[in-house]
Amino acid sequence: MNVKHGRFAFFRSPLIPGGNNTTVVSGSDLGTVQTGGFSRITGMFNIVGSMTLQFRSGVHSGNFQITSLTTLNSGSSVLDMLNWGLYLNVQVTAANSQTPTFVVMGEPLR
């Protein structure tokens, strides 16, 4: 699943358009995706409360060299960061929130 010529949603909530938001709690692992064809990782978040996300990148799945944390507070937030690895793992390390609405995408060269 490596779409290199356009934006591609890696993680999103709700999973079905028009569906109910999924619950995200502390310690949730959203998964690991292949990001080799994307120059940036972007995202949009809308939450009530707060949430801390951990992004881990590396050249092999399960062997991550770069770790980054970001804290999201109530309201809308935008994420825009460089992609340094071939794989990306996203985890929620802390959550004090109602069910958030979010999307994390890969973007090709701008």
Mean pLDDT of the chain: 83
- Answer whether 57's CB lies under 8 Å from 85's CB: yes
76 vs 26: which has the higher pLDDT: 76
pLDDT category at 5 given cuts 50, 70, 90 is low
Amino acid at 73: N
**CB-based burial label for 85 (10 Å; 0-12, 13-18, 19+):** buried
Tens digit of each residue's pLDDT (9 = 90 or more) over 38-51: 989 999 988 888 88
Reduced to 3 states, what is the DSSP secondary structure of residue 110? coil
Q: Is residue 14 within 8 Å of 22, Cβ to Cβ?
A: yes
**Separation CA 18–CA 108 (nearest Å):** 27
The CATH number given to 8-107 is: 2.60.120.260
- Assign 56 a pLDDT band (cuts: 50, 70, 90): very high
Q: What is the mean pLDDT of residues 59-76?
A: 87
**Residue 78 pLDDT greater than 90, yes or no:** yes
Q: What confidence score (pLDDT) does residue 42 get?
A: 92
> Is this prediction's pTM over 0.85?
no
